[in-house]
Amino acid sequence: MKAGLVMAGAAAAVGGTVAWLGLVIAKNLTAPAGGRMYDLTVRGVEKSGEQTIVVLDRTAHTGASGIYCLILENGGWVRLSEAIVDRGIGLMGRVVEDLSGELRAGDKASWSGIFFSGPAEAGLAATDVWVQTEVGLAPAWLIHPQAGPSTAWAIHIHGLGSPRAGTLRGVQVAAEAGLTSLVVTYRNDGEGPTVGTGRSELGAAEMDDLRAAVRFARENGARNVILFGWSMGAAIALQLAKDPELGAVVEGLVLESPVLDWVSTIKANCARAGLPAWTGVLALPWLSSWPLTLFTGLYEPIALSRFNWIARADELTVPILILHGTHDSSSPFEVSSRLRELRPDVVELEAFTGDHTMSWNSDPKRWEAVLHAWLYSRATSN
């Protein structure tokens, strides 16, 4: 009898721990927009003529080929060239391409694929506009191509935890291709309206704000739109393409490092954080089942099955270009590859060697060439 009680108590304790872990994962995933993590330390700054080299700990990111950015805790931006210099065991140097602010040994920094802090740095002339959503005004950048406003628009949707400035890598190509661009914000992203507890709803509610953005585009001269979705922005774009109100105006999708299935993405992020991938499943009830979602801080359950585009592959109808890094540790490349296998008639997939949303950084010339060619093929087919 006593042994049975002990066993039951142990099972309850284990069950409680498992439930708690699932809640923690769910709360971390949907956490309100917060500050950037500055988890790199500048080990040294070297000057050689006009060249500056920043010395960093050797990691998978700092040693990656391509061009990247160090965002400093002191507010500075350090854009890095492709050049890498060996600095001995555990260290490496990256050649600085451009520096905004002060750079000193000991500075704390964050490694980023975001290369431009705003439109001007990307060589783009932007007008600040506001999209009227059901939950308030959402600021956006309106960027016309050099030839002037066009009737074909690109709407650029950033991902979870990333600012809209991250999409400027794609806006440059859209402008060169003659598209007017609308670079949007949405609820609870740190720039758009704050709603409720400020938590992300993984695209389920944010889609309403993007529906308003498409309406804004149509009211201001757009006859058709191409949706550029980054990470979670891709999950939103896919939903919009199936929206009865918008389906006729959405002409194509460009998806960078897309979330094509939240379950596989949550598992990948658990593995990225050092947990077993299977623990991601523990978060699902706290995201999708009422009343558990109330403990997560969400007012409505999220229908995660709506975001599974492997299961919904037969519903895809518009042309899709996927740009995805094979080293993506957040949104598995394999899921994009599977979608391409299922729907080769509408899905094109271009593989790069970058991590999550860093395909452009790993090979900007090829990334831009692929995207430009795809946009040109859309224009000539209409």
List, in sequence order, the alpha helices (H) in 242-346.
262-272, 284-288, 292-296, 333-342
Q: Examine the domain organization and report whether 362 and 256 are in the same domain.
A: yes
In this prediction, residues 137-150 reach a mean pLDDT of: 94
The one-letter code for the residue type at 313 is A
**Of the candidates 58, 81, 112, which is a domain's last residue?**
112
Instruction: For residues 33-62, give the mean pLDDT.
Output: 92
| Domain hosting residue 69, numbered range | 40-112
- Tell me the per-residue pLDDT of 78-97, one tens digit each, with 9 for 90 and over: 999 999 998 889 999 999 99
Instruction: Tell me the pLDDT tens digit for each residue of 209-237.
Output: 999 999 999 999 999 999 999 999 999 99
* 181 and 134 belong to one structural domain: yes
Of the residues 112, 145, 166, which one is the last residue of a structural domain?
A: 112
CATH number at residue 219: 3.40.50.1820
Residue (of 226, 219, 139) closest to 180 by Cα position: 226
Q: Is residue 162 part of a domain?
A: yes
Lowest-pLDDT range of 95-104, 149-158, 259-268, 335-344: 95-104
pTM of the entire structure? 0.93
Number of domains present in the structure of the chain: 2
Give CA–CA dist 321/337, Å, rounded: 12
Domain boundary among 95, 112, 129: 112
| Residue 16 pLDDT greater than 60, yes or no | no
Residue pair 63/111 in contact (Cβ under 8 Å)? The answer is no
User: Does any domain span residue 26?
Assistant: no
